[in-house]
Structure 1
Amino acid sequence: MSTTFVLLPGAGSDSWYWHLVAPRLRAEGYEVLTPDLPWTDDTAGLAEYTDVVVEAIGGRRNVVIVAQSMSGFVAPMVCERVPVGLLVLVAAMTPKPGESPGEWWGATGQERAQREQADRDGRTVDFDPRELFFHDVPADVTAQAFERGERSPSDTPFEKPWPLAAWPDVPTRFLLCRDDRLFPADFQRRVVRERLGIVPDEMDGGHLPALARPQELTRRLLDYVRSG
């Protein structure tokens, strides 16, 4: 049975985020789905995002879900509805039952962690997307991203609690990025240990590895699948 990669983008992003990774996976013989989630739709929340992914998967059985950033809230919900062989969280938010995405930031201590990391780096914590997200993304890819325009996510998905009673019974790997300025490495190590009970794998780079380091990210994903 062939393996299908289902690549989920972070909040406000879309399938373009995976445009440097998806072709590499396909070149290795894998089917790849990159569904666009309705981040900007004020009528849509986590349940509707999950519906989009489940519909895209259809009847496929041997599925690997890769979830970037806020899609860490969506991917486990998909796992409850379709057969998933592996869940890979990349620079992701890790929810716990009853916690909304809006509550996650305070509950995990993200703001303090981001501020302390910025102090150590000698940076400000002003919201500058280029400095926060694109600091290690090649200039030409960054230019393409900004030419595509901003897609500000709706507030709707941040309001309702994550509905699962527990993490799904699916093999799960977490890949953190050591130079992530939004979710610093020490922060992620702690949150993943506390909430998933696992030790995350690590790679260099910032919050957007599919744009900054697509070759390495692809290799990591292939290694996960090929190692069983």
Structure 2
Amino acid sequence: MATFVLIHGGGGTAWQWHLLDAELRERGHDVVAVDLPTEDPDAGLGDYAGSVVQAIGERAGLVVVAHSWGGFVGPLVCDRVKADLLVLLAGMVPVHGEPPANWWENTGFGMKDIDDAVDLFMHDVPPGLAAEASRRGRTHAEKALAEPWPLERWPDVPTRFLLCRDDRWFPADFMRAMARERLGVEADEIDGSHSVMLSRPRELADRLESYL
């Protein structure tokens, strides 16, 4: 059985994984999910990765799953621990020296107005669950957004890229192209919104298990 290390995205929390956590534990796996120190003005990218590494402890058989902005953190974790697999779930793929704040322009994505966060990120999540996720949202301090991404090369770990076909934030065509250009891989695909861990936890668990 595996240990799934679940890394949330910008403004997120470990809570967003709770349905997937339950699915994976029912199947006999271990799960590690922590709140990244996004609200700490003194925390940099290394601190984010350190919080995950500390939570992992002595566990082995690691599958690191990094969602969205967590794509900046997942590879840093894999550079510090022995992981069997890294999965970027609708993940932002960084390159050496790139501050996260510059990713949007560098990839040609630009920025969108977030007039309705539920419609953009959670349109297929049950309304009560989407409301709770919105209530739990957190701010993101500047330091980790402005720091250059430190790794000179991608960590030596097998990597899968899993996009969400119905994602209104990161459209599928954009993500397919980014996976090819920045990782040199063809993206895998799953139905669902950007918050697929809340809308389709069983299907996501099935897909993650299929990677083992």
Give the equivalent residue in structure 1 for 2:144.
Answer: 157
Give the equivalent residue in structure 2 for 1:117.
Answer: none
Q: Which amino acid aligns with 2:155?
A: P
1:146 aligns with 2:145: no
Contact 1:4-1:31 at 8 Å conserved across structures: yes
Q: Classify 1:81/1:208 alpha carbon distance in 2 versus 1 (closer, same or farther; 3 Å).
A: same
Give the equivalent residue in structure 2 for 1:20.
Answer: 19
Q: Which amino acid aligns with 1:29?
A: G
1:127 Cα offset (Å): 3.1
CA RMSD of aligned residues (A): 1.3
Q: Classify 1:83/1:141 alpha carbon distance in 2 versus 1 (closer, same or farther; 3 Å).
A: same
1:58 aligns with 2:57: yes
Q: Which amino acid aligns with 1:176?
A: L
Give the equivalent residue in structure 2 for 1:130.
Answer: 118
1:16 Cα offset (Å): 0.6
Q: Map of 1:1-228 to 2, 5 A cutoff?
A: 2-111=1-110, 125-148=113-136, 150-225=137-212
Segments of structure 2 that go 5 or more residues without pairing to the other structure are none
CA distance in 1, matches of 2:193, 2:23: 20
CA distance in 2, matches of 1:61, 1:44: 26
Consecutive aligned runs of 4 or more in structure 1 exceeding 6 Å deviation: none
1:76 Cα offset (Å): 0.5
TM-score (norm 2): 0.96
CA distance in 2, matches of 1:79, 1:129: 30
CA distance in 2, matches of 1:158, 1:127: 22
Q: Classify 1:194/1:147 alpha carbon distance in 2 versus 1 (closer, same or farther; 3 Å).
A: closer
1:126 Cα offset (Å): 4.6
Q: Which amino acid aligns with 2:37?
A: P
Q: Which amino acid aligns with 1:159?
A: A
Q: Which amino acid aligns with 2:180?
A: R
Contact 1:61-1:82 at 8 Å conserved across structures: no
Segments of structure 1 that go 5 or more residues without pairing to the other structure are 115-124
CA distance in 2, matches of 1:47, 1:147: 27
Q: Deviations over 1:117-149 (max 9, x none)?
A: xxxxxxxx553212211211111211222343x
- Number of aligned pairs? 212
Percent identical? 51
1:28 Cα offset (Å): 0.5
CA distance in 1, matches of 2:160, 2:30: 20
Q: Deviations over 1:79-106 (max 9, x none)?
A: 1111000001101100011111011000
Give the equivalent residue in structure 2 for 1:122.
Answer: none
